[in-house]
Every structure is written in C-alpha cells, then in structure tokens.
Amino acid sequence: MIYTSALIRAQMTAMLAMTKHRKKKVPVIAHNEDERSIKWSKIFSDQTSSEVIPVVTSWQLNERMYGELQGLNKKETAKKYGKQKVHEWRRSYDIPPPNGENLAMCAERAVAYFEEEIEPQLLAGKNILIAAHGNSLRSIIMHLDKLTSQEVIDLELATGIPMLYIAKDGKILRRGSPTCPRTVSVYAFSNDLADYRQQLESDEE
C-alpha cells in the first residue's frame, strides 16, 4: 500500500517512485470519503486487483501549516517579521508562526495517524510506502527512532531518497541511515533483504 498526503506534490512523488517499482504495479487512489465513493471505486477483477496498488491520501500527513507565512518567500518573510523571529519559528519544536503549526502540532497529527492507520498494516506484514513532507516525515521518524525534540529539529532529510524500516517481532526498526541527526538519509539493504530481493527476481524469471 501507499500512504501519502492530500497535497499533489507528495502524490506525484509516490507516482514517480512507482514507475521504478520492479512489479510495475499501477497506483490507484482509494476513495473512501463516503459509501458511494467506496462502491464506485471497487475493482471486481482479480487480475486487475493484482496489477494495482492502493494509494491512501490523508491530510494528517500534510506538511506543517505555516499560517501567515504561507506563500511568502524567505526574503519577504524576513523583511516582514525579522530574520531572528523567522529562524525561531522555522527551527523550534514548540513555537508556532502566527496562525500556524509548530513541529509539535504537526507531530501530534502525523504520529497519531501513523499509529492508527499505517503501523497495523506494517505489523501485519504489508509493504508500505509513505510519500509525505519534511516535517510530517520527521515527526514519524522521531516517533520510530525515539528522538528528542532537539534531535528532530536537527534532523535533515534528503529529498527523494527513501528510508527503509522493517517490522520485526512486533517492533518497527530502521534499516539504513541517518545514523545521527545530521547524516543524509540513505536507502540501505541488510544482507537478508538483498538475498530476499534476489530470490524474488529469480522467481519472476
């Protein structure tokens, strides 16, 4: 399954990533807004079902809401509010910009959604892709890696480079970097995962 935010740029990231997937499955957004949406989007063909991968969109995975800073570039924001105040809003954990969210508020919604909707899927053995945004992903990583509020502020995520977590013995464990808050994230296989992928590819030939 794929989980992504309600924002088009995150959905496009998920779609682009799936063009490189070895199974070539087609991402299809799962419409579950109401009973009619569920009924109209139901697939009755087993073959078609095997060729698609469901995409669930959720506003809880949206980027942090910057309130009155939204739409302003860095120069405009600094001119209006001052560099020091802007730096404080952007890099603090619990100080929100005017009418916006701080990272703690973003984490509250993103982590709650992860625990309620995504974590059970992982623990049930499903392969999950989450395509979201810097702050919502940092929030989930903070939860999984048990980072402090200071460590998550310092955490830098490289755009477009996936991070791999696996579910094992009821826990979700990171496989790959960052090994410390400022290390750029890298997609890394363990030997077992590399062997598993090689076996899958052999079976397909």
Q: Tell me the C-alpha distance between 24 and 187, whole Å.
A: 20
Is 9 known as a binding-site position?
Answer: no
Is 197 known as a binding-site position?
Answer: no
Is 66 known as a binding-site position?
Answer: yes
Is 160 known as a binding-site position?
Answer: no
175 burial type by CB count under 10 A (0-12 exposed, 13-18 middle, 19+ buried): middle
What does the block give as tokens for 154?
Answer: 């310092």
What does the block give as tokens for 66?
Answer: 């910057």
Q: Tell me the C-alpha distance between 101 and 167, whole Å.
A: 31
Centre a 10 Å sphere on the Cβ of residue 122 and count the other Cβ atoms it contains. 16
Is 100 known as a binding-site position?
Answer: no
Is 182 known as a binding-site position?
Answer: no
DSSP 8-state secondary structure symbol assigned to residue 97: P
Is 36 known as a binding-site position?
Answer: yes
Is 51 known as a binding-site position?
Answer: no
Among 162, 160, 163, 171, which Cα is nearest to 122's? 171
Binding residue ranges for substrate: 36, 63-66, 74, 90-91, 134-135
User: Binding site: which residues?
Assistant: 36, 63-66, 74, 90-91, 134-135
